[in-house]
Amino acid sequence: LEIGSLAGVEIEAMRFGFDVVMKGSLADGARLEIIERPGQAWCLPCAKAVAVAQRFDACPECGSHQLQVTGGEEMRIKELEVE
């Protein structure tokens, strides 16, 4: 899975839930690999792409709160391998 830091997903809760659901099932022993993606935003006053750790962070360049989130909200299956 590829999960953005702004997706609202608790990574450890996801891992725990996966392990609980898989235990004793046909998929027992399955592995879950999670790639965490950083939050990205566009600062309107700076006209720059900046990294953000959470929503409503200020721009690290100018301190403005006029940011448009451009990345880090995703949660998607990047690859699925079945044997």
Q: Tell me: the pLDDT tens digits for 18-57?
A: 999 999 999 999 999 999 999 999 999 999 999 999 999 9
pLDDT at 8 over 90: yes
Alpha helix ranges (H) inside the chain:
11-22
% of the chain at pLDDT higher than 90:
94
What is the chain's percent helix, strand, coil content, to nearest 5?
A: 15, 30, 60
- For the whole model, what pTM was predicted? 0.79
9 near 17, Cβ under 8 Å? no
pLDDT at 83 over 90: no
40 near 72, Cβ under 8 Å? yes
Confidence of residue 7 (pLDDT cuts 50, 70, 90): very high
For residue 40, tell me if it sits in a domain: yes
HSE-up of residue 40 (Cα within 13 Å, Cβ side): 10
For residue 83, tell me if it sits in a domain: no
Domain span at residue 63 reads: 2-76
For residue 82, tell me if it sits in a domain: no
